[in-house]
Amino acid sequence: MTENPQCAKCTRVVCDSKASLKGPENCPTKTKQEIIQQALAEYDDPEVREFARQASIQEAECYMHLPEGLTTRYPRVEEIAQFAKKLGYKKLGIASCLGLKDEAEILAEILENRGFEVVSVCCKAGAIPKERIGITEEQKIKGPGAFEAMCNPITQAKILNEAGTEFNILVGLCVGHDSLFFKYVKAPTTVLVVKDRVFGHNPVMGLYLAHSPFYRKLLRKE
């Protein structure tokens, strides 16, 4: 058994070059050839291949070459609409957090304006009290005695499955609720908004600021 890959800590990144076998000892490009070949075979499925091909085309189209250098051009919402069109999808699903209802509404409008049929389901659909999954009064956000509907990502997934959406877009589901949605949904799904209650749904700020005096606490050892 070889040492597990540690790409996040790699000091010799060569996998995006022709010298791809010159990485560190635990480089998966060197040590995981069997898995790499198995995974590669999956792309021989025409549907998977086309999905991957269009994703790479979309990726490249998100840049343009200007005299001053390679420049980005599409925000993610535009990228999603263009990608869905490339795949020929007609019916899209939105699985959103109730706390991002306004954002979900704008997204629906953008997609409908591009000619898509949109089905949207919010996380509280079903209005099932949190007690149903064992949440106690003390564990509620608003405190004891309040009615709180549970986030219901499995219901969101099943409703979108029943509607036959061909591609789904996540808007701000909580950590863990998003995981359940991915587990139960059938159509491929992408993420537009990642919930971050502190950083305006821009969670990478937690990484950018982890070495700053104000957020050093994120790097504490436990």
Chain contacts with ligand SF4 (rule: CB under 6 A): 7, 10, 13-15, 23-24, 27-29
Tell me how far apart the alpha carbons of residues 112 and 134 are, in angstroms, rounded to a whole number: 39
CB of 31 to ligand SF4, least distance (A): 9
Shortest Å distance, C-beta 190 to ligand SF4: 24
Residue 160: enclosing H or E segment and its boundaries?
helix 153-163
Residue 8 vs 127, nearer CB to ligand SF4:
8
- Radius of gyration for the alpha carbons in the chain, expressed in angstroms and rounded: 21
Q: What is the dihedral of CA 40, 187, 53, 9, to 10 degrees?
A: -60
Query: What are the tokens at 121?
Result: 């389901």
Q: Shortest approach of ligand SF4 to residue 34 CB, angstroms?
A: 15
As measured in angstroms, the least distance from the Cβ of 23 to ligand SF4 is 3
Is the Cβ of residue 24 or residue 153 nearer to ligand SF4 in the bound state? 24
Structural tokens at position 169: 């877009």
- Which strand (E) or helix (H) includes residue 92? strand 91-96
For residue 201 the two structure tokens come to 């749904």
* Nearest residue (CB) to ligand SF4, 23 versus 172: 23
- Shortest Å, Cβ 180 to ligand SF4: 30
Compare residues 21 and 98 and give the one whose CB is closer to ligand SF4: 21
Residue 67 one-letter amino acid: P
Quick one: 14 or 205, whose CB is closer to ligand SF4? Answer: 14
Residues 6+ apart with CB under 8 A from 191: 169, 170, 178
